[in-house]
Amino acid sequence: MYCSISAFGQTGPWKDRPAHDTATVAAAGILDVTRSPEGDSGPAIIGVPIADMLSSYLALSGILMALYRRQLTGSGDFVDISMFESVLAASPNILGPVFGGDQAPDRLQERTPWRSRHAQYL
């Protein structure tokens, strides 16, 4: 049993790029949606390490499935988790229209109209 969590996976043109949570979230296009709809304030950094959390949950799921397979077949597995792809998988409401119609996400539709005391959207 072997599990790997990397920024962009083991294959592809970005496989050797070093990155962290914010970089993978930005590469997935999520930071563009966090801009203020009232003005172009620039992207807002998400307050939780979402790529780290999502990729660890997917790794846990993959490891549990691999352990179950080992119990049934006796063979091991390699679980490869990409932080970037984890964020993409959790963003279908944003990315579907982008990939389907080649259009940018609508920042106004992707948030609620309420703000918290610290100017974060709810």
Q: Residue 97 corresponds to which tokens in the numbers above?
A: 């229209």
φ/ψ region of 29 (left if φ > 0, alpha if ψ in -120 to 50, else beta) reads left
Give the C-alpha separation, 95 to 109, whole Å. 13
The residue type at 119: A
Give the C-alpha separation, 67 to 41, whole Å. 47
Annotated catalytic residue: which of 52, 80, 102, 106?
A: 52
Give the C-alpha separation, 77 to 75, whole Å. 7
Q: Residue 93 corresponds to which tokens in the numbers above?
A: 């409401």
Query: Is 106 assigned a catalytic role?
Result: no
| Catalytic residue annotation | 52
